[in-house]
A and B are shown apart, each in its own frame.
Chain A
Amino acid sequence: MHVRAEPEPEIPEELRQSDVDEWGRSEQMRSLARRVYDPVYKHWFRAEWEGLDKIPTEGGALLVANHAGAIPSDAPVIMHGIETELGRPVYGLADYFFRKAPVLGTMWSRLGGVAAHPDNAERLLREQQQLVLVFPEGTKGPSKRYSERYHLRRFGRGGFVEIAMRAGVPVIPIAVVGAEESMPVVARLPNVARAVGLPYLPITANMLALGPLGVAGYFPAKFKLRVLDPVNFDTEPGRERYSRSRVMDESENIRNLIQQALFDMLKKRRSVWFG
């Protein structure tokens, strides 16, 4: 059976009116945000990197870090640092909760946030060879109390390892010191959180000290970030499932690497504020 040979219609030229990509990220918005955020990064948190050269300048990699601070200050620092130093975009995976929030959800998406769905991670890493940042602790990291600072929570169910194996990309662990003190959680209100539909609702030291300003005002803790050696897997990419024990072992191993690096960095830290 033949398809009728029609004259080719004249196709109007591609005329995009914005630079929002398929994930919702906009380089224009990102560069504006970088300009606004740069003084915070440089002069407030005074972020200092160690081993930034371990992050590849091309090819996909899954960046895995510890997560802390009631409203985590680590994600913007990591994304800003890598984008300014390496000049390549970083997509941050986070709970789909963000998508439900008006304004915030759109902002988050324009600035490189992507809902943490395995399909999204696989497409970003395997097909588009991008840098993807994930916090395997999820909300358990930022919701923990100040007294539990720098004690890594469970790394989910090891999903991040499976994603990296499937995509055939290395996991690059990053240990972050400073986020815990930038917004310490002194108490939690789980019942109120449940009632208003938030994943967690913390009372922070910032709120006690600064009042309403404390909701978004970070303390000027000194940020130190250490990039650890990439972890490569010898598994065949593209498989539907991987050995559960292997995945859990790798996940636990990466968690230990970050935990040990954190203890090491804390040993050397003389002051929370000056590093």
Chain B
Amino acid sequence: MSRRVLVTGLGTFWGGRVAQALEADPTVDVIVGLDTTEPTVELERTEYVRVDANYSILSRIVKATAVDTIVHTFLVMDPTQITARAMHEINVIGTMNLFAAASAAGSTVRNVVVKSATLVYGCTPQDPTWFREDAVPSEPLHSPVERSLDQVEAYVRDFAEDNPHVNVSLLRFANVIGQEIVTPLTRALQLPMVPSILGFDPRFQFVHEDDVIRSILYVLGHNLPGIYNVAGDGLLPWSEVARICGKRTFPLPPFVSPLMLLPARLAGLVDLPEEYLTLLRYGRGVDNRRLQRAGFDYRYTSAQAVRAFVEASRLRQTVGDHLPSYRYERDVEQFFRHSPAVIGNTPNPAEEPR
């Protein structure tokens, strides 16, 4: 069965790496990537379309390309890089438009994979040690990023309910770590001393970025509708995470609030949003066995993921950015993809824009 895939968030780590992996799959005919920014990884045959943050032209793209699979990775989880309003536009309004386009009359969409995060479980002292997929937050969610993801998931649920013929998979990722991705936690772990909260040493769970990409491809390949937690085995105390990174912790006062950290944030020292401050108090674990029962094998445990992150950052410190850097040049990309001068560009009706 040949596939036509739409990847949102092509300019992010997630979308770029998924598109790269899909390119290697001969059964995938067409890959269309959407983003507001240009891709940062080299792509051979993915078509990049620049869109605005909330995808107002999306229904035209979905119709014109007749995609059967949507991989929705363009969801912002890091509130330090973006205002709450912009995050709402991207996450909630973007998802709303995406599903509106996918459920339009005559839609060819049959598979949808959405990236969410375990942030939707919230983080309170009442929480169970391990959240299962059917758990509800112990307290109403209040941070902007948690709330926006919750609304995104509501759209996903509605879409799945209204379109029973579509395989809708919702993946909730724990703290992602690895050689490329930058999150509030990886930034905290790269500081000379790792911030912690005095008197608290909660347990953290991590998932390696390779397992993230592999899990997205796995659910795509095996048509696994439903909600799945994606997280490495095992929980690590935050102090141990710091120790694996070869760092000491710097305890912040127990009553620390985002407001108190404002001067440190403005000085560029430490930037920990609200939900990460609660995470540094209570931690969060999720039960990852549902995806394992569906046949997925994790390559990294939580501890191994942290170790891989440390080794990658050591290498970067020594030799600089060792990953091949890439800049998207529209004309060059158009030439390689569509010029008859490039050998191998035999006209393929499936790949021609309609």
Contacts and interface: CB of A to CB of B under 8 A. Distances in A.
B329 to A, nearest CB: 26
B307 A15 contact: yes
A100 B129 contact: no
Nearest to B20: A4
A18 interface: yes
A24 B240 CA distance: 12
Contacts of B132: 119
Contacts of B221: 1-3
A12 B129 contact: no
B303 interface: yes
A1 B128 contact: no
B210 A105 contact: no
Contacts of A23: 129
Contacts, number: 101
Nearest to A110: B201
Interface in A1-48: 1-4, 8-9, 11-12, 14-18, 20, 22-24
B43 interface: no
Contacts of B24: 4
A3 B217 contact: yes
Interface residues of B, number: 47
Interface in A90-120: 96-97, 99-106, 114-115, 117-120
A102 B198 contact: yes
Given A1-B25, A24-B237, A123-B130, A16 B303 contact: yes
Nearest to B305: A12
30 contacts: A1-B3, A1-B28, A2-B26, A3-B217, A9-B299, A11-B299, A11-B304, A14-B301, A14-B304, A15-B307, A16-B236, A16-B240, A17-B240, A17-B244, A18-B239, A20-B237, A22-B235, A23-B129, A24-B203, A97-B125, A99-B125, A99-B282, A102-B199, A106-B199, A106-B201, A115-B129, A117-B126, A118-B128, A120-B128, A120-B130
B130 A103 contact: no
B206 interface: no
Contacts of A97: 125
Interface of B: 1, 3, 21, 24-28, 125-130, 132, 135, 197-201, 203, 210, 214, 217-218, 220-221, 234-237, 239-240, 243-244, 254, 282, 285, 299-301, 303-304, 307-308, 311
B129 A1 contact: no
Given A4-B21, A24-B203, A117-B127, A12 B218 contact: no
Contacts of A20: 203, 236-237, 240
Contact of B243 (A9, A17, A106, A123): A17
A18 B237 contact: yes
A12 B135 CA distance: 33
Contact of B129 (A17, A105, A120): A120
Contact of B203 (A22, A103, A115): A22
Contact of A117 (B3, B128, B304): B128
A103 B130 CA distance: 22
Nearest to B254: A102
Contacts of B197: 102
Nearest to B69: A1
Nearest to B310: A12
Nearest to A26: B237
Contacts of B237: 18, 20, 24
Contact of B25 (A2, A17, A22): A2
Most A CB contacts (10 A, CB to CB) among B27, B210, B303 go to: B303
Contact of B130 (A11, A17, A99, A119): A119
A8 B210 CA distance: 11
A102 B203 contact: no
Given A1-B220, A96-B126, A105-B199, A22 B300 contact: no
A12 B125 contact: no
Most A CB contacts (10 A, CB to CB) among B3, B308, B311 go to: B308
A100 B243 CA distance: 24
A34 B214 CA distance: 45
Nearest to A1: B221
Given A11-B300, A120-B128, 5 more contacts: A2-B27, A3-B25, A9-B210, A102-B197, A115-B129
A4 B25 contact: yes
Contacts of B214: 3
Nearest to B131: A119
Given A1-B28, A2-B25, A96 B125 contact: yes
A76 to B, nearest CB: 20
Given A9-B299, A102-B199, A103-B199, A15 B244 contact: yes
B290 to A, nearest CB: 14
A8 to B, nearest CB: 8
A4 B17 CA distance: 12
Contacts of B240: 16-18, 20
A123 B129 CA distance: 10
B25 A12 contact: no
A12 B199 contact: no
A205 to B, nearest CB: 30
Contacts of A24: 203, 237
A22 B129 contact: yes
Contacts of A104: 199
B160 to A, nearest CB: 21
